A and B are shown apart, each in its own frame.
Chain A
Amino acid sequence: MSIVTRKLRATMLSLAIASALLLSACSSAPAAVEPTVVPEVAVEATAAPEATAIPEPTAVPEATATTEPTKAPEATATTAAEATATVEATATMAATATLAATQAATATKAAMTAPTATTAPVVASTEWEPRQLTAKLSGSGASFPNPLYQVWISVYTKNVVPSVQLSYSSVGSGQGQKDFIAYLTDFGGTDSAIKSGDVESKAPDAIHLPMVMGGVMPMVNIAGIKTPLKFTPETLAGIYLGAITNWNDPRLAKDNEGVALPDLAITPVYRSDSSGTTSIWTDYLSKVSTDWKSKVGAGSAVSFPAGIGASGNAGVSATVLNTNGAVGYVEVGYALAAGFPLPFVKNASGNFVKPETNNVSAAANGMNISSNPQKLATSITNSATPDAYPIAAFTYILVRQKTYTDLNKAQALADFIYWGLTTGQGATVRLGYAPLPEAMRTASMKALKTVTVNGAPVIDAPIK
């Protein structure tokens, strides 16, 4: 079940992106006839959506070191590279689009270099190109970031470093950790940190690098109600504990004035397969409800006191859609792709916040980032930031700090991860993820730079 739904979801997401990018590519393709105009057109066409992807400087006080001019061209390059790859991918499907795609590709290549050239005095010190290394890298782990990683891998291996072979299998966080600890993979993907005891005993040099953020949201199906509902930590915990069993419960009605909540039984839907999504959800409920903490606890699979289990995000959403009065928790990216309205959840500061990208990113603001590269993994649910969406989490890539033996491989991997932390962040929003806030992104880069092979650092790239 889970494999099928993951693939389905991945396909759905990538189709959505492909079509969106095809549209934007079509609009910029005619301009490719005049190469001199192209860079500008590309910048204009792509800068607008990108602006939301890069966190606002005001939201990230730590970001003052990063200057505005360096970000703008980089953002353009991101989207350009993205567009190129995906356009090429779609071109293989639609033969007629081949010519347009090739034109767009050359155009965007020009776009990638042009802005850098014009702003050369500013970015000269931060210029970084992935090394053209030949290596074969494999990873496995969390299914949550899988759609993003697949896009990254396809862009990276097609357009950035064609000589590198990358693979990521979506097998679940737990299996990803096991594979990584057993040295079966070069890197792991996980939504939850390796247990502290296990880090010391099994993987003493493992580093969790935050790559991207995601939120989990309640998805509701009540016949006739289309307005996004408002939830508080108490009502969410009450529903999943089986204490709130009817939609006309006064506790729900109090937060949703003006919405005629019917006399209808609530059916909570949860993930039957153990998953990172459940980890995030139960971690949040454990933080906000002492009842939940003492009775159910947090983990990738818990004993839910009420409701019904369905496998995968797709299974949960299908069950919710089929059941009048059902509520289920899914990843925001999935809900967006499936076209669900975003609900409001009351955060720790008392504000009702929707799981919009910037609100999810905001959950990581104001947190204490450890200077120890091995201690980057933290729970950020129920964040104290006023505009933070409270049910959010990082997803991590696991790398080894000291025990890589093949320098070439380690360098190729570090380049890919660095690329994902810089250029790759541009692809996050379109896929329903939230980019890392500046402080976390730089912390992640710093941690990446501590990776060594026989004492020699594998990557020397600017923190930008």
Chain B
Amino acid sequence: MAVRISIRTAHYDVEGQMAQQSTPPQWSTGKSPLRHGDVPFRAGTVALASAVVLLVFAVAWMLYTSSQEARTAFGWDLLFGSTWNPVETELNPVSFGGWPAVRGTLLSALIALIIAAPLAVAIGIYLAELCPPVLRTPLSFLVELLAAVPSVIYGVWGVFVFVPFFSSAVAEPLSATVGAIVPWFAGPIATGRGLIVTGIILALMILPTIASLTRDVLRLVPNTQREAMLAIGATRWETIWLAVIPYSRAGIIGAIMLGLGRALGETMAATMLVGNTQRISESLFAPATTAASLVANELTNSVSSLHESALISVAFALFGITLFLNFGARLLIWFVERNTRGGRS
């Protein structure tokens, strides 16, 4: 029987830890713990670790109190209302409905995930299992390098290269044919910026993140798993599919969730590509907005304190969505780990 390894995905920093080592070694019982620096070291790490927790709560508290004004004025409309109008006029009262932004955030992240997740996992599998050793190091290095490219560069590339190409090569023909029936792909394509372009660029951004984490996770699967499968006559594909992937499923889900987190919170590239309009359109080609870009765009120069408060509410909602999704991911991982106890081989 193979040595069982639990792949822990605490905060998605995927790390392998041998099961029998999972209990930390006991602290030294020597006469002078101070001499070895144990006590100060422990105190220091505890302080730093709790500082992180405090920071999260401090951020949440700030978002909560600063959004008070708008929340009392608009309530749930801040999340589900669809009119965003910071300036009062005769016909249009001031209204802060964050639904276009929340919807844009969710949709663009979803598009990104649908495109990136299968591709990235495939890349990770190739790098970990199938890639010839000569190529593995340079390819892995390049993938990690892609993950480190700042988002503004993806945004610039999107604006100047991808969007013009995509609108003429894909969006226009698609909207002229399919778009006539399916409202999701309806025209007109004016500038080419919209949710789908944002989603694709976000997919490119999160792809290397997911791919390199998947590779790391797969490398942690003990070779005995593979050897056992190969020994009973399994093919490469069967080995990977039946012995390797089930073992690292939780880690792969963690990697995908980390990618999703990046897609949800991406501000710079989204602002440059999404079109920044508060109107909701069924078409994915039409300009839209995301929560992060709305806050980044309007907060610095807000019209009124209510406007500022409403923007902070949108930020609060984004914080909540991220928290909620992370929590969901933890649940999913826990569920998956429980069901695959002992592996499937």
Q: Which residues of A come within 8 Å of B, CB atoms?
A: 1-2, 4, 171-175, 265, 267, 269, 272-276, 282, 293-304, 307-311, 315, 318-319, 322-323, 325-326
On whether the beta carbons of A301 and B303 are closer than 8 Å, the reply is: yes
- Given the known inter-chain contacts A267-B191, A303-B84, please indicate yes or no for A275 contacting B301, CB distance below 8 A: yes
Q: Chain A residue with minimal CB distance to B95?
A: A303
Most buried by A among B86, B191, B307: B191
| A171 contacts across to B, CB distance below 8 A | 300
Picked from B83, B276, B296, the residue with its CB within 8 Å of the CB of A310 is B276
Instruction: Say yes or no: B276 contacts A299, CB within 8 Å.
Output: no
Given A1-B272, A299-B303, CB of A294 within 8 Å of CB of B89? yes
A303 to B191, Cβ gap below 8 A? no
Does B13 reach chain A (CB closer than 8 Å)?
Answer: no
Known: A265-B190, A267-B190, A326-B191. A299 touches B297 (CB 8 A): no
- Cross-interface CB contact of B300 among A172, A282, A302, cutoff 8 Å: A172
B68 contacts the other chain (Cβ, under 8 Å)? no
| Among A174, A276, A295: residue with most chain B CB under 10 A | A174
- State the CA gap A166–B34 with chains docked (Å): 50
A residues near B297, Cβ cutoff 8 Å: 1-2, 272-274, 301, 309, 311
Complex-state Cα separation, A296 to B302, whole angstroms: 16
The answer to whether A311 touches B278 (Cβ under 8 A) is no
CA distance A269 to B193 in the complex (A): 12
Q: Which 7 A-B pairs have the closest CB atoms?
A: A309-B276, A272-B276, A274-B301, A297-B89, A172-B301, A299-B87, A174-B301
Complex interface: stretch among B37-45, B157-165, B238-246 = B157-165
Counting chain B CB atoms within 10 Å of each CB, the highest count among A274, A304, A326 belongs to A274
Contact B277 A307 (CB under 8 A): yes
Q: A272-B297, A275-B301, A311-B271 are in contact. Are A323 and B89 (CB under 8 A)?
A: no
User: Is the C-beta of B146 less than 8 angstroms from some C-beta in chain A?
Assistant: no
A308 and B191: CB pair below 8 A? Answer: yes
Q: Please, how many angstroms separate the alpha-carbon atoms of A263 and B164 in the complex?
A: 20
- Kindly identify which residue among B190, B268, B293, B298 contacts A323, using a CB–CB cutoff of 8 Å: B190
Q: How far is the CB of A459 from chain B (nearest CB, A)?
A: 31
Cβ-defined contact, A325 with B85, below 8 A: no
Give chain B residues whose Cβ lies under 8 Å from the Cβ of A302.
Answer: 85-87
- In the complex, B208 has a CB within 8 A of chain A: no
Residues on the B chain within 8 Å of A323, using CB? 190-192
Bound CA–CA A253/B226 (angstroms): 74
Q: Is B301 a contact partner of A173 (Cβ separation < 8 A)?
A: yes
Residue pair B296, A319 in contact (C-beta under 8 Å)? no
Measured between alpha carbons, how far is A171 from B299 in the docked complex, in Å? 11
* Bound Cα distance from A448 to B78, whole angstroms: 44
Please determine whether A272 and B86 come into contact, CB atoms closer than 8 angstroms. no
CB-nearest residue of chain A relative to B90? A294
**A274: B residues at CB distance < 8 A:** 86, 297-298, 300-303
Complex: A133 Cα to B341 Cα, angstroms: 76
Other A-B contacts than A294-B90, A311-B276, 14 sampled, CB-CB below 8 A, are A1-B296, A173-B301, A174-B301, A175-B300, A265-B190, A267-B190, A269-B191, A273-B297, A296-B89, A301-B302, A308-B191, A309-B277, A322-B159, A322-B163
> Considering only CB atoms and an 8 Å cut-off, how many residues of chain B contact the other chain?
39
Tell me the smallest distance from the CB of B155 to a CB of chain A, in Å: 8
With known contacts A1-B296, A274-B300, A318-B159, A296–B276 Cβ distance under 8 A: no
Complex: chain B residue closest to A326, CB-CB:
B191
Asked whether B92 is an interface residue with its Cβ less than 8 Å from the other chain, the reply is: yes
B91 at the interface (CB under 8 A from A): yes
| Those of B41-81 within 8 Å (CB) of chain A | none
Interchain Cβ contacts under 8 Å between A and B, 25 examples = A1-B272, A1-B296, A2-B297, A172-B301, A175-B300, A265-B188, A272-B293, A274-B300, A293-B89, A294-B89, A294-B90, A297-B88, A297-B89, A299-B86, A300-B303, A301-B87, A303-B84, A308-B275, A309-B297, A310-B276, A311-B276, A311-B297, A319-B159, A326-B190, A326-B191
Contacts of B296 in A (CB 8 A): 1-2, 273
Q: Does residue B147 face the partner (Cβ distance < 8 Å to A)?
A: no
Q: Which B237-290 residues have C-beta < 8 A from chain A? A: 268, 271-272, 275-278, 287, 289
A273 and B87 within 8 A (CB): no
B321 interfacial by beta-carbon distance below 8 Å:
no
A303–B81 alpha-carbon span in the complex (Å): 14
CB distance from B89 to the nearest CB of A (A): 4
A310 to B160, CA, bound (A): 14
Task: Tell me if B272 and A311 are in contact (CB < 8 A).
Answer: yes
Q: Quick one: closest A residue to B85, CB to CB?
A: A303
Tell me, in angstroms, the Cα distance from A265 to B190 when the chains sit together.
8
A273 & B89 in contact (Cβ 8 Å cutoff):
no
Return chain A residues, CB-CB under 8 Å to B275: 308-309
Which residues does chain B contribute within 8 Å of A282, judged by CB atoms? 87
A307 to B276: give the CA distance in the assembly, Å.
Answer: 9
Shortest Cβ gap from B109 to chain A (Å): 19
Residues of B near A272 (CB, < 8 A) are 271, 276, 293, 297
Contact A303 B190 (CB under 8 A): no
Q: Considering the complex, which residues of chain B in the window 214-248 have a beta carbon less than 8 Å from any beta carbon of chain A?
A: none
| Chain B hits for A298, CB < 8 A | 87
CA distance A272 to B190 in the complex (A): 17
Contact yes or no, B191 A301, CB < 8 A: no
A243 to chain B, nearest CB (A): 15
Given contacts A296-B87, A302-B87, contact A322 B191 (CB under 8 A): yes
Q: Is A295 a contact of B91 with CB atoms below 8 Å? A: yes
| Bound Cα distance A258, B155 (Å) | 39
Residue of B nearest to A1 (CB): B271
Interface centre among A2, A275, A323 (most CB of B within 10 A): A323
Contacts of B277 in A (CB 8 A): 304, 307-309
Most chain A C-beta atoms within 10 Å of own C-beta, residue among B83, B159, B293, B300 = B300
Which residues on the A side are within 8 Å of B90 (C-beta)?
293-294
In the assembled complex, B119 has its CB within 8 A of some CB on chain A: no
A4's closest neighbor in chain B, by CB? B152
On chain B, the residues within 8 Å of A296 by CB distance are 87, 89, 92
CA distance in complex: A302, B91 (Å): 14
| Bound CA–CA A311/B269 (angstroms) | 11
Rounded to whole angstroms, the CA-CA distance of A294 and B301 in the bound complex is: 23
Inter-chain CA distance A282–B192, complex, in Å, is 25
Which residues from chain A contact B289 at a C-beta distance below 8 Å? 309
Query: A297 near B87 (CB under 8 angstroms)?
Result: yes
**Which of B83, B88, B301 has the most chain A CB atoms inside 10 A of its CB?**
B301
* A310 and chain B: residue at smallest CB distance: B276
In the docked arrangement, what's the CA distance between A65 and B278, Å? Answer: 53
Note all chain A residues with C-beta closer than 8 A to B152: 1, 4
Q: How far is the CB of B152 from chain A (nearest CB, A)?
A: 7
- A267 contact set on B, CB distance < 8 A: 190-191
Residues on B with C-beta less than 8 A from A265 are: 188, 190
